Structure 1
Amino acid sequence: MLKILANRTYRHLFLAQVIALVGTGLATVALGLLAFDLAGAQAGAVLGTALAIKMTAYIGVAPIAAAFAERLPRRAMLVSLDLVRALVALALPFVTEIWQIYVLIFVLQSASAAFTPTFQATIPDILPDEDDYTRALSLSRLAYDLESVASPMLAAALLTVISFHNLFAGTVIGFLASAALVATVLLPKAKQVPRRSIYERTTRGMRIFLATPRLRGLLALNLTVAAASAMVIVNTVVLVQSRFALPQSSTALALAAFGGGSMVSALVLPRLLKNIKDRTAMLFGGGILVAGLAVGINVTTYNLLLPLWLVLGVGYSLAQTPSGRILRRSAHAEDRPALFAAQFALSHACWLITYPLAGWLGAHYGLAASFIALAVLAAGSLIMSSLIWRPAHDREIVEHTHDELSDNRAHVDDTNAERHEHPYVIDDLHRRWPR
């Protein structure tokens, strides 16, 4: 897997991603402590609002940013967004009012909503070989999982010698280092696209997404992934420290078990996907998530929770990591930024549903009710995904006609009614999926 790091451009981008992730992790810890410093017992409400603002920025900003990203140099855009994030992190230690947290978080997450899809859409152009791209996806998954474990540990170590305000300095350094690494490489230019209105550019990714059966199936599967991960992220602390009456270190270990399962899955995926289809692997991962949520209803001890969270981590990575491969083969290179932005927005819309659902049900009706509801939601969306994303709709080369095209269109060989076949994606010449 690590041999793709021999590619200098990808190596620098990967290191930029890792360093920025560590900086973001430090900011997450520091933000929680800042909220407690300003709001005391109401810190949970402050963080909950900040999380809602984050998701709103992700959902609303990503498609708009993608509409303008196709007209801008990628390197300049990524470096500029890193600098914006660094400036916001630099301002956070000087916050004295809660509303200031909300404003800065919106700016920070808006920059991230523009940065991440643009970054993701650049990688397929750097690594055109599918096996290399699969390894890159797995490495990216590993980076996210390692960050979830390493950043809290690093923050805990730093807090023994510095105040939490100084953790934001680590975030600033992370974003500046990320910008410097991106600035050292030449990125492939985005493919030129026909001039379109702002509305067309903003909605293009969504329209391609919703017109492609395998992507509609991916959207349903996103909800399965969001249901399971929301249960873990929102209710682990409640399970461990309230139900089982264990310390914070046990909460960290449980979350590490989930991340560890995800890392194991990411490590085996490149070899696994050489032998089975993406659809099979992802739906199987979704099945693991549904089964895990169902089993969770009867978890009564911490020793049972740890292996369950490990298994959920395996299913989470299995269902989510190959999505980049699906997006890559579902659009032309010039449409990939818009499509990655659509996936970014829609997947976070799923979390915007499941995060409050997991927390509200657990708080008002108990954790068993939360497990049951999320298991039902995950199972229903998995069934929907398998029905929408049928094997017949997963073929790359599709036979079709162009009855609506005139004879002088170069795409049609001899007659506009003649059937022909080629790798099929939704674009200006193919606006609907063939029946």
Structure 2
Amino acid sequence: MGQKQSMFAPVKQRSFRNLFIGSLFSDSANWLDMTALAVVIAYEWGMGATEIASMMIVLALPWIFIGPVVAVWADRLPRRMLMVTCVLIRAVVILGLFFVPNLYLMLALVFLRACVATLYNPARMSAIRSLVSDDLLPQAISLGQMSMYLTQIGAPMLGGALIPLIGARQVFLVEIGFLLLSALFLAFLPPLKSEANESERGQHFWKQFAAGIVHVKSKRILSVSIILMTIGMFIVLLYDGMLVIWTKDVGLGEHAFGYLVSALGIGSVVGALLMGSIPRWHKKPLHMLITLALICGLLDVVIGLGGLKVITVGLWMWFLYFLFFGIFSAAAMIPFSFIIQKETPKHLIARVSGVSTATTALSMLLAPALGAWLSSLIGIGGTFVIAGLFMSLIAVIVLLLLSRILNEKQDVVNESPAPSA
């Protein structure tokens, strides 16, 4: 019966609709301040790539070192109160960015903003599981991903349009307005009290912290999915910042980069929509994740061959190609998020989400440097080829071991039933 549900069925429920709209405003605010921060650093202060890179590092560090720890509170505290409080704290931090006089204070505020996000995001993941029935969970996850991709496209465009009209710093004030609207919608959620079970009440903080890591290690399907996604993110980040150089190497012209980024963005939205509308993968999400990882790896290889001039086509053929690449890469996030939700009991969702995010965030620090080194040795095209082949190889290895992964003993206590992966 759950397989017949519409992609947009979850938004018919008032509580989830408030969470979805609140998330739209919150995610839009995230991308607005990323645009404004970059413009202030590069244009107002006349700084360069080093300072932009330092901002990205400061953004990543809390997800690695603080996120898994504060996720304990996301599981223990009432999530409505927690999300509203986090959004309001972010609004205060962004107000500070409006007045910030130098890079060092800006980095301190950006770090604080990221710390708040490490508490907010696991709480949101946990709230989805509490608000939506199991048969609507795939659609709810797809809608959440679609929200992120839509705001990733729309918010920078809005920021780019506003900056010439009102200035970069005034965009922070627009962002504060978005955050206040987000807090308003989130305030209408039910209380969403802690899902902690009786055995956890009164436990020492660090024992509760370790419970998320122990659960990931004990569930082979879950740990394999996180490892696979972490490797996938690492490979993407090897070349992610070098797409503009690839465009130049292929000889497509300065204007082509914007078109290809747009193609990726449009494809991401389409990918999320398709995964929310196709029910067949719900019973075997790990199969789907591996298949999509294999496809993305092969698509990377073709992009690399283009960079090596082995494949030569025009801009619009590459536009269509990157559109499909966006579809498949975005689609892979849906079964991954679904596995985390279904293979984790409700009282551990935030902690497992924190562990997962920390592992993928670590790649934000390591992959770009390795990618730059590889590109200096074998070129951008060669880096794409190596990255794609490695991703495909990992997917094939996991596929060969799939029967062993799926035959794990279900010996974890307090587990809710999970589908066959």
Bucket of the pairwise TM-score, normalised by the shorter protein:
0.7 to 0.9
2:302 is the alignment partner of 1:295: yes
1:90 corresponds in structure 2 to 95
SS in 2 for 1:70: helix
Alignment of 1:102 onto 2:107: yes
Give the aligned partner of residue 160 of structure 1: 164
Q: Which runs of 5+ in 1 are unaligned?
A: 401-423, 431-435
Is structure 2 residue 237 aligned with structure 1 residue 230?
yes
State the shift of 1:199 in Å. Answer: 1.9
Whether 1:192 aligns to 2:196 is yes
Where do residues 197-346 of structure 1 align in structure 2 (5 Å cutoff)? 197-227=204-234, 229-230=236-237, 233-240=240-247, 244=251, 246-247=253-254, 250-274=256-280, 277-299=284-306, 300=312, 302-346=315-359
Structure-2 change in CA distance of 1:353 and 1:378 (3 Å): farther
Matches of residues 103-118 of structure 1 in structure 2 within 5 Å? 103-118=108-123
Aligned residue identity for 1:393: I
Please tell me whether residue 183 in structure 1 is matched to residue 204 in structure 2: no
Q: Secondary structure at the match of 2:343?
A: coil
The structure 2 residue matched to 1:125, chosen from 126, 130, 153, is 130
Q: Distance in 2 between matches of 1:272 and 1:387?
A: 25
Structure 1 residues 383 and 189 mapped into 2: Cα distance closer, same or farther (>3 Å)?
Answer: same
CA distance in structure 2 between the aligned counterparts of 1:279 and 1:29, rounded to whole angstroms: 35
1:150 Cα deviation from its structure 2 partner: 0.8
What letter corresponds to residue 316 of structure 1 in structure 2? S
CA RMSD of aligned residues (A): 2.5
1:147 aligns with 2:151: yes
Classify 1:337/1:235 alpha carbon distance in 2 versus 1 (closer, same or farther; 3 Å).
same
Question: 359-368 vs 67-76, which deviates more?
Answer: 359-368
- Among candidates 40, 51, 54, match of residue 49 of structure 1: 54
Query: CA 1:215–1:253 in structure 2 vs 1: closer, same or farther (change >3 Å)?
Result: same
- Shift in Å at residue 258 of structure 1? 1.1
Aligned residues: percent identity?
A: 19
CA distance in 1, matches of 2:205, 2:183: 28
Offset of residue 86 of structure 1 = 1.0
Please identify, of 301-310 and 79-88, the stretch whose mean Cα deviation from structure 2 is larger: 301-310
Q: Match for 2:160: what amino acid?
A: A
Q: In 2, Cα distance between the equivalents of 1:385 and 1:100?
A: 45
CA distance in 2, matches of 1:94, 1:377: 46
2:406 aligned residue (347, 369, 394):
394
Q: CA deviation at 1:222?
A: 0.9
Residues 291-333 of structure 1 show CA distances to partners (whole Å, capped at 9, x for unaligned) of 0111112215534432332222122122211122211222221
Count residues with an aligned counterpart: 400
**Which amino acid is the alignment partner of residue 204 of structure 1?**
A
Give the secondary structure class of the aligned counterpart of 2:52: helix
Q: Does the 8 Å contact 2:81/2:191 carry over to 1?
A: no
Moved more, 301-310 or 105-114: 301-310
The match for 1:353 is 366
Structure 2 distance, partners of 1:425, 1:337, is 21
Render the CA deviation track for 1:191-232: whole Å, top value 9, x for unaligned. Answer: 233232222222221221122111221123213431453256
* Counterpart residue identity of residue 405, structure 2: H
**CA 1:189–1:218: 2 relative to 1, 3 Å:** same
More helix by percentage: 2
Name the CA shift for 1:185/1:271 in 2 (closer, same or farther; >3 Å).
closer
Q: Which has the higher contact order (CA 8 A, sep 6+)?
A: 2
Q: State the shift of 1:145 in Å.
A: 1.4
- Residue type matched to 2:350 in 1? P
In our comparison, the structure showing a higher alpha carbon Rg is 1
d(CA) in 2 for partners of 1:429 and 1:184?
Answer: 30
Q: CA deviation at 1:374?
A: 1.9
My pick for the range that moved more, 228-237 or 48-57, is: 228-237
Structure 2 unpaired stretches of 5+: 1-6, 307-311, 417-421
Residues 224 and 377 of structure 1 are in contact (CA less than 8 Å); yes or no, is this contact kept in structure 2? no
Tell me what 2:175 maps to.
171
State the TM-score, normalizing by the size of structure 2.
Answer: 0.87
Displacement of 1:39:
4.8
